[in-house]
Structures are given as structure tokens and as C-alpha cells.
Amino acid sequence: MSYDWEQSSKRIGIDDLTLLTKVNEGQIVENLKKRLQGSIIYTYIGFVLVAVNPYRLIKGMYGPEQIKRYRGKYSHELPPHVYSLADRMYRDLTTKRESQAVIITGESGAGKTETAKLIMQYISSVSGGGSSQIEHVKKVVLESNQVLESFGNATTLQNNNSSRFGKYMTIQFDEFGAPSGGRVRNYLLEKSRVVYQQQGERNFHIFYQLTMGASNEEKEYYGLDAPENFNYMNQGGKYVTDGMDEVEEYTKTKEAMKSIGMTEEESTNLFRTVAIILHLGNIDFYEDEQGNAAITDESQVDWTASLIGVESQTLSYALTFRTIHTGGIGRQGEVINVNQDVNGAYFSRDALAKAIYTRSFDRLVQHVNRALGETNHELVLGILDIFGFEIFLNNGFEQFCINFVNEKLQQIFIELTLKLEQEEYVQEGIKWTPIKYFNNKIVCDLIEGRNPLGILTILNDVCLMPKSQIQSQDEKLLAKLDENLGSHEHYSRSYQDPMKFILKHYAGDVEYNSVGFTDKNIDTLFNDLILLCQGSSFEYLKSLFPEVIDANSKKRPTSTGTKVIKNASELVENLMKCIPHYIRCIRPNSTKKPLGFEDKLTSHQVRYLGLLENIRVRRAGFAFRQPFERFVHYYGVLCEKTWPRYNGSPKEGCKVLLDYIQLDPKEWQLGNSKVFIKHPESLFHVEELRERKYHDSARRIQKCYLYWKARKHYLELRQKASDLLVGKKQRRRLSVNRIFTGDNINYKSNPKIVDLLESGGHSTEEVLYTNRVYRVGYSRWRKKARREDRDIILTERGLYIFGKAPIKVRGEKKMVLKISREIPIATITGAHLSTLADNFVNLKITNYDLLIEDDKKTELITILNNKAEESNRQFNLNFTNTIQSKEKTGKFRTISFEADTNSSTILPNLKGSAKALTVYVVPGLPADTRPSKITYKERETKKVQRKPVIQQQQQQQQQTTRRNPPQISSRGRGGGRGGRGGRGGFGRGGGGGGRGKRQPPKPQGRGGRGGGRGRGFKPTKPQIKQVENEEIQGGGLKLGGGGGGGSSRGRGSSRGRGRREAPKIQPRGGRGGTGGGRGGWGQKENTNEETGGGGGRGRRQAPKPRGGGRGGWGQKESTGGETGGGGGRGRRQAPKPRGGRGGGGGGWGQKQNTTSTRGGGGGGWGSNNTNTQVKRAPPKPKPKIEKPSVPTASVLFSFEASMEGEVSIQKGTTIKIVKKDESGWWTVENHLGETGLAPYNYLKELN
């Protein structure tokens, strides 16, 4: 059964042990127990990760989803996890450019190996990729675990997959954060396990994989049998491990060998050496009559000798005889062959087996390193997976060496996290509360010391002493230890066994059995055995023993103890070159029970791992420290005063920087040379600020790069487009330098088009071009050519034309958008264009032609030509003024193009029939016109030159505005007066709407409100009309004008509303409609009333050149009256601060009965009041402005010159008009004094 980590990762216990309310050993154990029972195995102590082995898979805890979840996240953002620590390592490596190393410690069975594999998995997943070399390195990093574990791990009482060697893997990274190589260093392989295992334990995994997982052919070739039939496998009495399928593991091992570059022959050779060792262990000896060793079963020797590649007699002789060289240094010695006793023969057999396996394992590591490919990159990430501290019932020389290495690793932890940290606080003058802790340096010196002598030094001295018949070498060792170390506080003799001594390690007291210490330290391999292997016909085995034997050399081989000291020192040196990270693994129970927890066992590990002291130091200390110079250099980008460099002292720069980012002063202190930050959360905050800064900067850089890249691509396209048309077709001025925008209709914002593309299965196609074009057809009803607008979308696969088609919805016809044509791009074979400056394109499709008018035809033709080239197709582009266009019906239509020098419109005129069409085109630029070559630098220079002039003009305009604020009118002028009603009865027809009300001031004035509708009343007195100072008085009803409209029309009965203007440099009133709003209608009072006439309808103002539209019609209101006639057409108005003129007068009312007469034309302002006197102040006389001799214009929109003869103009400036031209391009003089052409619709005439 597995547990779902996602559902159980709620807040159980405390995520960080530094936050415990009571800090003691019991609280630590209780918190770990509570979290483990909730399937949460990871807990923090600051930056240190504590991992408890659950002895089972927890669902959802690992894998790609969790890797994605933890990538780029700080440790406080998500629950504790090994992925979080791995992410911090990789992030620090890539951003700070510092080598990183993780030290995974804990006793055997605590889960160190699995933790190391998870870190490798994460780093391999998140690091850079793409190239085959990078992917190869990643694969080797992961696959090497399977191979090394098969040959270096074994099942022990504490762990089913215990590492019996130390492994320090370094992964090298290039400057882009991608793995470029690596190296594996192996330490202290437990070679004694090859020949002996304790009860309940197994040999290395590979022996069981080969004997139980190999095929029958392989077993026959190697002479293999069941594991219980081999002496080197049956001593522990355990052959099967829970959760381990040897057949499957053997297959994985063979596949992993291929992944690290081993050939089939190399793999076979390695398996053959394993078989040699198994058969070698089955050679037994007995004592003959002379007391010498003799071989029990010669057939076993025969099989073993055949695998080794030597004669059987040679093997027997090497195992039962020993060659001794006599003679001193400098003298010719004598060679003597001596028979060995049974113990000596077994010693030689086991020594040969251990030597072959050890050297084969070293060769395997060489294969891994060769596959990783070590490079010269100095940036590395190291992962140390080494056997944990071991305390068995019988602890020998192997446990002594293993525990010594663990003492050295604990010393690193103490030096960096406890001792140096506190010493640094004192040196830096930081406020600090000292914490007591146990420094295990005294234990390390006890083992490796030279002055005074340590245990390993004394052991080497004893091994050099001649052997005695009275006292064994191991007994001499104990005597020497008592003599030199008897008074040491961490050394004592055992009272239960005279051959044992006790060392007080940081992890507790360990009792060692000294029997075998001296023999294992010497690690003798007789020359006879080396010569045996060197004489083998098995080349692989022969290559494992390359040493040259000098019979006269008196140099002794390096002892095992000396190698251990050297390897430990080298390991510590490599780790100290990196920024260390720590994972403390804990074995929660001794029976490997899933989620089982033993308080006593866990408490012991918490004590010797130093977790309590670590918590106390972390609570009282600072999580981060860095020299001033480096801190300012790394984080200086956050403050303008410290970036790019700070001119003051580095310490002052740190203070300026920390004050600028407003970090809590309680969270940091400045020492003598370093800055200290207390909590990790504060550091994460500063890191996040830096990442945001770099992210914003990166976006700016990307923006500039993408602009440059896009412009480069555009210039290439423009040049290509020019090459297609130059010398063949006249050009339009705006077309020559037009930018290729691709999507000209913003199709993604049109949900109907998007839905049609999705429903047609085209949503995944890359869109290359969109535009609104005209399809030119013929109207049989109107008997003339017509243009129908269509949206076209060109993708990588086809051209899609969108048009409207009628459908019936509930009996009513409605026009809906649909894809009218789908043209595969491969069927578009070419295009026909005229030689004139028109936009017509006749696309040649396989079975018919498609005639369209596209104002961005150059872009369309260029894209079609490029796609044809990519597909190795020919795109035929022809230029002629007479085109035969083939329709889908099969009929042809003749399209003729003629120049029209008299036309004042840019849009070509069309004349023709269903069979022929003539297009009259205004002359354009010469056919040899090419795009201008104004460089980016030139454009920027012009902008810099224009900037101060523009600023000066804007300042002058602002000052003028403050002195003489413009008269802002909030209304448009009223429409015409409504027609008079009939004279029948006592009432008169209602007038038009009243005068618009003034709006509240706004940056842009709106048009006035439309007037209320007039109302007819029964008069009580005769009407009197008196006009004085524009006053109108009457006893009945005033005749009012229509409400003032804005740029859209105002409505009489309600109110008109002006359209909001685009921002201008000076405030101005909203434009009124060119025509007034509709006239109000009379309200029914009696059956003889008639409605007033409608006001003229307004049309949109400049920058369009034409005037307003016709007025709307009056609306019928009552049964007795008829609507007024239409208003007149509004006049074109120059843009002014106030609203435009009103529309024409109202129409005449129709005769209703014999008593009614027609209403007369109307005109002035009106009021909707009755029996009241309304006064309107006389208009203020307008100040007389003398017209300048030279006409001027205000620039509404900026225009950038891109061709010779053009001139750039800047929005908001005032320019001189030199000459007007009907083509739409005027000759002007800009504010810099430059003269050239500019588009007239970008200007507004001032006089």
C-alpha cells in the first residue's frame, strides 16, 4: 500500500524545528514521530534537511509533477522536501557561480542512497538540455546508479540496499547551467564482504543477480548454480531480499551498462570475473600428512582455472605455495618456494578473490567516468553518498575505518555550522549568545594523529614489527594502544574481552574487536597471485594487474590505514571547496517496518547527529553572511545609488542598500567585514527582489532584441518584396515603406472568426497574413461593377475567405459569417498584377482565378512567394494591364487597367460589365522606386534633434493656454425651427427642442444636451410677439430649435451627446455634429396639432475632408399631425473649439384639414417655457485675428519620413503649408525648417 503525500502534506507538527516552543531532545523526537505517522518525512532546521526513512513508497511525493512544483520556489513557500534543497543548490550554482555539495549523513539504513538518487533525478530534470552531449551526461548520471549499486551495495541487517562503499559524484556545469561532464570517486569498498557475510546478510547484489537472473546459456557458460551452492554466498543464510526481483535487476544492470558506454564484450568480461570469484570460493583445502595444504576437489580447480585462463596446476601451485626472496638490499637474493598450511592457502584464496573484485569495481568506476567525460569546467555540484555510522555486535577493522570517515564528515559539519559560525560572530563584533556543543576533533586526532600518536599510526608501526611466536601482532597492537592512549578520555579497554577496545565516538561508544586489524591493514597480496593473473589468457583479468614486480625491492606496500587517512583528507578537501548543504538521515526503527517508529533508537540518532545543538545555533545565529564587497556587487542592482558601482566604502554601500529595500533592521547586522541576515525568509525576500529586477531587465533586453530581429526580418522581406515589383509596377507612396504586420484585422479578437477556424480544424495552423480586402464582382441589378468586402486569412496550409451568407432563423433571413472558400496554399500557383499603382491581385489557382483588391498586396505576394520557395514550388508572377481572369464557372472576364490623370480620388474607378472590367488608376510613383534606406541611427538622431524644439513649442503653447484659456463650448448649435402647426382650433404646433444645457467642465467638452420637446397649450390670451435684445415673448408657446448634437446626432425628445475627442495639446470643446440634432416633435394637445420639423443629422468631423450628412426626418407623434420635412445637408466645418453649425431648417407641415396651413421655414434658438420672459445675453464679439500671410496647420498625428522628398512632422507642432495638392500629399515646412511632402489628413488648417 502507498500513501498519498499530496493529501497528507497538511500542517502536521512543525516544518522547521527551529520554531519549536520548547527546544529539547524529547520535543524533537515527538515532532519527527508525529510527522512520520502523517507520512511527512522531511523537516527543516534552517537550511539543514532532516529526512526520516519511511521504508515504503509514499504516493505523489516524487516524480515530474513534484519536480515542476518545487522548481524555482524558495524553501518557505512549500513543505520541506529534498527537491527544495536540490533546487536551492542548483539555483545558487547558476546564479552565484559557486560550486555546491550536499553531504548526506546518517547510520546504515537511514535512506542516504535513495536521497542521493532523488537529488540526481531533480538536477538532471531541471538543468539545461537540448544538445546530445548534455542529454548523454544526464543519462549517465542516472544510469550509473544502477550499475554501481549492483556491484557496491548489499543487504544488511539494517538496510536492504546498503552502500558498502563511499561515493562522491561531482557533476560539472558549463556557463549556461547545463551539465557538461562529471566524475565519480569511490572510497573504502568493503571488500571483506566478498569472502564473508554475517548471519542474515548477503554478499554484493551482483552475485545474486547473476546466479538468479542470468539466462540458461549464460549460466552454462559461467558454470553457475544456485546461490546456496557457493561458499561466498551461503554464509549469511539469506538469498532473497524483500522487494527485489533479481531477474528484473539483472536486466536493468545490463541496460545500464550499455548506457554508460560498455560494450557487450566488456559486460561479459565483468560478469566472468564475478563467476571466477564464486568458483574460487568453492576451492577447499585439507591438511596432508606433512601438514601442508592440499586441494580437496581438483575438478573445482579445473573449472576455475579455465575461467581465469591458466592451467589447473598453475592455479593449484599459486594457492598452496608461496615464493620467498632472501637477501638484503644491494645483494643478490635467493628464491625459496615454501608450502603453505591450510590457513595460508585459504588466506591466499580469499586475498585473490578480494583483489579481483576490488580492481574490477575500480575499472567499472573508470567506465562511468569515461562516459561522463570530465571537462575543465570548475563549477561543480557534488553529491556524497557514503556508508553511515555502524555499530554491530562484532565490529572489526572495516567498521573502524567507516566510523573514522563519518567522524571526519561530522567534523566538517561542526566546523562550518557550529564552531566557525560562533568564532566568526566574535571576530565580526556581532551580538551573539554562545552555544555549547561537542567538538569531535579530539576523536579524529585520536584516530589519525601523528603527534601525539593516533591509533592508525600505532597500527602501521606494529605491522612493521617482526612476528613473534609468543605474542600475536594484534596483541602487540593492544599493548601499544594501552601504552600510548591509556589515559585518553575517549579510549578504554573492554572488561569483557581482552582483545577488544572501546572508542567514544560522537555517535556513541563502540567496542572494536582487534583480531584481524594488523592483517587487514597490511592487505597482503603475494607476488605469486599477481604473477598468476598476469600469466592469464583472459586479457581483461590480465589488465587488472599491471604492476611490475621487483623481487629485490624492499619497499612495503601502502597500508590500508594510510589509504584511509589519505582518502578522508582528500574527501574533506574537495568538500571544503564547495558551499556545503546537509541532509541528516534518520533510521526510525530497527526492523525496517513501514512508518514504524522507535523513540529510543531515534533519540539516539538525534543526539549523535547534533540536531539539538544545530537548532540552538540556528535560533541564536544568522542564516546568511557575506563580505561587504560581494553583497554590494551581487545585490547592488536593487538600488540606483549602488548600481552599477558604489563610490563609497563597501560597508556604507551595504547599509544604503538594506535601507533602500526597507529590510527590518532587526533582521540584519553589519560586522567588521561582512553583512549578516538573521532568518532565511528575509534572505528569500532580498533574493526575490533581485530576481524580479533581473526579470524586468531581461524583458527589456528581449524587447530590444526582438525588435531588432523583427526589423531585420522586415527589412529583408521589404527588400525581397521590392525585388519582386521593382521595374515592373508603379508604387503607391504609402506602400513603399509599409511595415509587414501580418495580422491586419486582429482576427483573434473576433470570436466568430476564431470559432469558424476551430470548427473547420484550422485553429492549429500558423497564421501568416490577414486583411480585409475587396472582392470585385458585377451587380446585374445595378448594371455596374461592385466591391464586396471580405476578410481573408492566409495560413501555412491554405487561404480562407470569410463572407456573409443568408440563413433563415425562425422564418427571418439573417446574414451570418462563414468561410466561403478554403483554398489550399499548394494550389495557388501565381498571380497577375497590372503595371499601374493599383491594389488589384488576380490569384492563379489550379482551376480558376480569384480577383481581389488588397491595399497590402505587396505583403501578400511576398508571403505567397516565400511559401512557394520553401516547398520548392514555382510562383509565377506576371505584370500586364490586360488580365484574363477565369471564374469558377469556367468563363473568362477581361480586366483592363488604364491610367486616369484627371481623377482626384486615390481609389480607382471601376466601369464594366459581367464580361469586361476597366479599372481607372491614378498615376503612382515610378516603377523603379525602392524603399528608403534611412538607418536606425539616423532616425534616432532626428528624434533627438526634434525633441528640444518640440518641448519648447509645447511649453509656449501651455503658457499661452494659461494666459488665454480657450472658450470651450459644451454644446453644439441647435437645429432648425420646427414647422408651424395648422391654424385650426386654438392650439399651435409644438416647436422644436429647446436649447442644449451646458455640461460640467471636462478635459474635453461634450456636445450640449438635446433640448426637451415642445408642448402645445391652449392659449388664454392673444399671443404677442415682441423682439428686443433677442427676447421672444408669447402667451402661448415658443418655437424652439432642435437640440445640439455632438459628432453623432442628437435626438430632439431626449438629448444629444458629443463624442469624446482624442487628447489634444490644448483643451477644446467637443465637436458638435455638422448637422444639428433632430427637431423635437409637438405633443398632442388637441387633434389639430402638427409635429415640428426634424433637424439636420450630423456627420463625423475632420480629419475627414467631407461635410455632414443629410438631416433626419421628423417623427410622427399624433394622429392629427404629420411629420416635418427633412433637414438640409450640414456644411463642412473647420475644426473649432466649439460645436459645429446646425442643420438646415425644418420641412413644411402637411395640410391636415381645411383650417390648417403649412408651417414656415424656421430658424433661431427657442425655449420651452410659457408665459415667461427668457433673456439671452448678446454674444461676445469675437476678437479679430489677423490672418498670417503664410497658411499654417496644426499636426494631428506624427508622421515619419521614409522616402526621399518626404518630411517628418511631429504631433502637436505648428507647420507652414507651402502647396496643396489634390493627390492627398501637401508640401509643408516643419518646425525644423525642413520642406517636403506630408499627408494632408494628418493636418488641421489654422487659417
- pLDDT tens-digit profile of 386-415? 887 888 888 999 999 999 998 998 888 888
Q: Pairing between strand 153-154 and 162-163?
A: antiparallel
Burial-class residue 502 by CB neighbours within 10 Å (0-12, 13-18, 19+): middle
pLDDT at 1064 over 70: no
Beta strand extents in 532-652 (DSSP E only): 579-586, 624-627
pLDDT of residue 1017: 39
| Strand-pair partners of 481 | none
Residue type, 611: L
pLDDT tens-digit readout, 647-671: 888 888 898 888 888 888 888 888 8
Q: Which three cell numbers stand for residue 740?
A: 509587414
What average pLDDT does this structure show over 679-691?
Answer: 83
Q: What is the chain's mean pLDDT, rounded?
A: 79
Burial-class residue 814 by CB neighbours within 10 Å (0-12, 13-18, 19+): exposed
| Strand-pair partners of 1244 | 1194
pLDDT of residue 369: 92
What average pLDDT does this structure show over 68-85?
Answer: 90
pLDDT of residue 176: 85
Q: Which three cell numbers stand for residue 564?
A: 584511509
pLDDT at 1114 over 80: no
Distance CA 1106, CA 1114 (A): 25
pLDDT of residue 1226: 86
* CA angle (540 as vertex; 538, 542 as ends), nearest 5: 70
Highest mean pLDDT among 274-283, 570-579, 1128-1137: 274-283
Phi/psi of residue 1229, nearest 5 degrees: -120, 115
pLDDT of residue 947: 61
Helices 397-414 & 560-576, crossing angle to 10 degrees? 20
CA distances in angstroms from 1114 to 83, 993, 1088, 1122, 1156, listed in the order given: 78, 12, 17, 9, 18
Distance CA 475, CA 287 (A): 27
Phi/psi of residue 567, nearest 5 degrees: -65, -40
pLDDT at 751 over 80: yes
Q: Where in the chain is the domain with CATH 2.30.30.40?
A: 936-960+1186-1245
Distance CA 423, CA 625 (A): 13
Distance CA 459, CA 406 (A): 20
Least confident window among 13-22, 551-560, 749-758, 1070-1079: 1070-1079
Compute the residue count for the chain: 1247
Distance CA 1009, CA 995 (A): 8
Distance CA 643, CA 220 (A): 74
Distance CA 406, CA 391 (A): 12
Q: Pairing between strand 162-163 and 58-59?
A: unpaired
Least confident window among 264-273, 415-424, 532-541, 641-650: 415-424
Phi/psi of residue 395, nearest 5 degrees: -105, 120
* Helix (H) and strand (E) counts in the chain: 31, 38
pLDDT at 778 over 90: no
Distance CA 1217, CA 1238 (A): 10
Q: Is 748 helix (H, G, I), strand (E, B) or coil?
A: helix
The answer to whether 25 is annotated as binding is: no
Distance CA 710, CA 716 (A): 10
Beta strand extents in 880-984 (DSSP E only): 882-886, 892-899, 909-912, 916-921
What average pLDDT does this structure show over 688-710?
Answer: 88
pLDDT at 1128 over 70: no
The answer to whether 431 is annotated as binding is: no
Percent of the chain with pLDDT over 70: 76
548 contacts: CB under 8 Å, gap ≥ 6: none
pLDDT of residue 410: 85
The answer to whether 108 is annotated as binding is: yes
Domain 726-921 is found in CATH 3.30.300.130:
no
| Strand-pair partners of 335 | 325
What average pLDDT does this structure show over 953-968?
Answer: 59
DSSP-derived letter for residue 737 is T
DSSP-derived letter for residue 1011 is P
pLDDT at 645 over 90: no
pLDDT of residue 464: 87
Q: How far is CA 445 from the centre of its chain?
A: 50
pLDDT at 970 over 60: no
pLDDT of residue 964: 57
Please choose, from the candidates 117, 40, 131, 111, the residue with its C-alpha nearest in 3D space to the C-alpha of residue 86.
117
pLDDT of residue 809: 73
Q: In whole angstroms, how large is the CA radius of gyration of the chain?
A: 49
Comparing 1086 with 232, the larger pLDDT belongs to 232
Distance CA 880, CA 859 (A): 20
Distance CA 405, CA 568 (A): 6
Q: Where in the chain is the domain with CATH 2.30.29.30?
A: 726-921
Comparing 616 with 26, the larger pLDDT belongs to 26
pLDDT of residue 962: 55
Active-site residue numbers?
Answer: 108-109, 113, 159, 162-163, 388, 390
Residue type, 67: I
The pTM score is 0.57
Using an 8 Å Cβ cutoff, are 974 and 992 in contact? yes
Q: How far apart are the first and last CA of the chain?
A: 90
Using an 8 Å Cβ cutoff, are 599 and 586 in contact? no
Please choose, from the candidates 1224, 1229, 1227, 975, the residue with its C-alpha nearest in 3D space to the C-alpha of residue 1105.
1224
pLDDT at 266 over 70: yes
pLDDT of residue 999: 43
Distance CA 856, CA 689 (A): 46
The region, left, alpha or beta by phi > 0 then psi within -120 to 50, assigned to residue 1086 is beta
pLDDT tens-digit readout, 876-890: 999 999 999 988 888
pLDDT of residue 1036: 35
The answer to whether 1164 is annotated as binding is: no
Torsion of CA 555, 560, 561, 563, to 10 degrees: 80
When pLDDT is cut at 50, 70 and 90, the band that residue 67 belongs to is very high
Q: Pairing between strand 849-853 and 840-845?
A: antiparallel
What average pLDDT does this structure show over 1208-1216?
Answer: 90
What average pLDDT does this structure show over 1092-1097?
Answer: 41
Please choose, from the candidates 444, 439, 382, the residue with its C-alpha nearest in 3D space to the C-alpha of residue 581.
382
The region, left, alpha or beta by phi > 0 then psi within -120 to 50, assigned to residue 1212 is left
pLDDT of residue 707: 86
947 contacts: CB under 8 Å, gap ≥ 6: none
Burial-class residue 488 by CB neighbours within 10 Å (0-12, 13-18, 19+): middle
The answer to whether 72 is annotated as binding is: no
Please choose, from the candidates 575, 583, 580, 680, the residue with its C-alpha nearest in 3D space to the C-alpha of residue 625.
680
Q: Among 3.40.50.720, 1.10.10.10, 2.120.10.30, 2.30.30.40, name the CATH number for the domain at 936-960+1186-1245.
A: 2.30.30.40
**If DSSP states are collapsed to H, E and C, what string results for 858-903?**
HHHHHHHHHHHHHCCCCCEEEECCEEEEECCCCCEEEEEEEECCCC
pLDDT tens-digit readout, 470-515: 778 899 999 999 999 999 999 999 988 999 999 999 888 999 999 9
Please choose, from the candidates 320, 302, 321, 300, the residue with its C-alpha nearest in 3D space to the C-alpha of residue 310.
302
Highest mean pLDDT among 24-28, 686-690, 1031-1035: 24-28
pLDDT at 1097 over 80: no
pLDDT of residue 941: 63
Comparing 733 with 689, the larger pLDDT belongs to 689
Listed as own residue / partner, the contacts of 323-327 with beta carbons closer than 8 Å and 24 or more positions apart are 323/526, 323/527, 323/528, 325/551, 325/552, 327/552
Q: How far is CA 899 from the centre of its chain?
A: 57
When pLDDT is cut at 50, 70 and 90, the band that residue 995 belongs to is very low
Distance CA 448, CA 456 (A): 6
The answer to whether 748 is annotated as binding is: no
Phi/psi of residue 291, nearest 5 degrees: 85, 10
Distance CA 904, CA 906 (A): 7
237 contacts: CB under 8 Å, gap ≥ 6: 199, 200
Q: Cell 492566409 maps to which residue?
A: 794
Q: Which three cell numbers stand for residue 98?
A: 559557486
Q: Cell 399631425 maps to which residue?
A: 1121
Q: How far is CA 632 from the centre of its chain?
A: 27
